């Protein structure tokens, strides 16, 4: 893997094979009898939760537990992490199997988000926890800054914010429906669509229905506020 990618990620690996594994989807590993990134993703998710929580507690000293939880869900959601992956230009670097490649895996939000978590897990194994907070701040610091600029409005759950917006516009209450459930029982992925005034305006993905609802609401807010 290139030094340019390591530079974009914010960490130069003493063991570059860890970065290579972090970018290896299980479809590639299955076809090539190699190691995939799922264990690194599992580790990286835990590290990300800790680092993002500390960062948010520093930036929002007056926020209560529930408010911090909502803030964290916005900056480390599947959608947010896929955005980080696009900024890091991870898509072209992913190692995908033939089928995953053919079905658009390089742009799929879940695949991209998992790769981001796996890279953080790789950083942890390469250099210890001490190297991780700076990497996380580099990745999500801009999003945290944006939440600070929004003030208390940014602390609200996106579903509440979307409902306030639609009611203000005279469009009633948004409705949500699960359109697809995929994956094994221990790692389900839910796809949700949100409708406003009878029109489908956005969709979201999440490892729980609650997360998918939030993702869909956040996407709907972006779409409606951009009009």
Kindly list the catalytic residues. 45, 117
Question: d(Cα 39, Cα 52) in Å, to the nearest integer?
Answer: 20
DSSP letters spanning 98-157 = HHHHHTTGGG-HHHHHHHHHHHHHHHHHHH-GGGHHHHHHHHHHHHHHHHHHHGGGGGS-
Question: d(Cα 4, Cα 11) in Å, to the nearest integer?
Answer: 10
Other CB atoms within a 10 A radius of the CB of residue 7 amount to 10
3-state secondary structure of 158: helix
- Evaluate whether 18 touches 43 at the Cβ level (below 8 Å): no
* 207 DSSP assignment: S
């Amino acid at each position: 893997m290139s030094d340019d990618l390591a530079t974009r990620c914010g960490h130069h690996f003493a063991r570059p094979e860890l970065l290579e594994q972090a970018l290896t989807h299980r479809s590639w590993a299955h076809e090539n009898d190699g190691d995939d990134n799922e264990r690194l993703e599992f580790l990286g998710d835990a590290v990300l939760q800790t680092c993002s929580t500390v960062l948010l507690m520093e930036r929002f000293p007056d926020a209560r537990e529930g408010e911090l939880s909502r803030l964290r869900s916005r900056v480390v959601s599947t959608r947010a992490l896929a955005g980080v992956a696009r900024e890091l230009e991870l898509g072209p670097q992913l190692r995908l199997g033939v089928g995953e490649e053919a079905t658009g895996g390089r742009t799929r939000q879940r695949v991209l988000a998992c790769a981001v978590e796996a890279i953080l897990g790789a950083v942890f194994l390469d250099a210890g926890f001490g190297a991780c907070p700076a990497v996380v701040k580099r990745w999500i610091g801009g999003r945290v800054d944006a939440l600070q600029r929004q003030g208390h409005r940014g602390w609200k759950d996106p579903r509440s914010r979307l409902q306030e917006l639609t009611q203000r516009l005279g469009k009633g209450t948004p409705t949500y429906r699960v359109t697809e459930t995929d994956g094994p029982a221990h790692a389900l992925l839910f796809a949700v669509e949100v409708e406003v005034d009878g029109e489908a305006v956005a969709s979201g993905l999440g490892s729980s229905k609650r997360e998918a609802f939030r993702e869909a609401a956040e996407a709907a807010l972006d779409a409606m506020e951009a009009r």
